[in-house]
Amino acid sequence: MKAGYTIWILGLLLAISCSEEKVTNPHAENIIVLGHTYQWHADGTKIDHRIADVDFSQYRGVWLGGDMCSETTRHQSTLDYLDSIFKLSHVSTL
């Protein structure tokens, strides 16, 4: 009798775990953490091109650390560039 209950419970658990869920944003619960993203340029105003190509809107949070560019605050245009990529003023960007 105990084996019958065990098989029934395992079957129920299997059926529940196989249910199909529609995932609209697979990264919605992910946080991306980046640090020292700069790529060496003579003027120190660019980040690594591989990072610049990432769609950060796919992440619940963007956490930045270290130097974003080697001369981040020297020119307002560098801050504007970083803001266009990371959305620095967004509440999920730290």
pLDDT tops 80 at residue 66 = yes
pTM across the whole model: 0.65
In this predicted model, what pLDDT tens digit does every residue of 20-40 receive, in sequence order?
Answer: 555 555 555 799 999 988 877
94: DSSP letter = -
**pLDDT value for 10:** 65
- Measure the CA–CA gap between 51 and 55, rounded to whole angstroms: 9
Measuring CA to CA, which residue among 65, 62, 39 is closest to residue 50? 39
Domain range list for the chain:
23-94
9: enclosing H helix or E strand: helix 2-17
Question: CB within 8 A of 78, min separation 6: which ones?
Answer: 44, 45, 69, 71, 72
pLDDT of residue 71: 86
Smallest CA-to-CA distance from 62 within 37, 87, 25 is with: 87
* Contact assessment for residue 66 and residue 36, using Cβ atoms and an 8 Å cutoff: yes
Digit-coded pLDDT (tens) for 54-65:
999 889 999 999
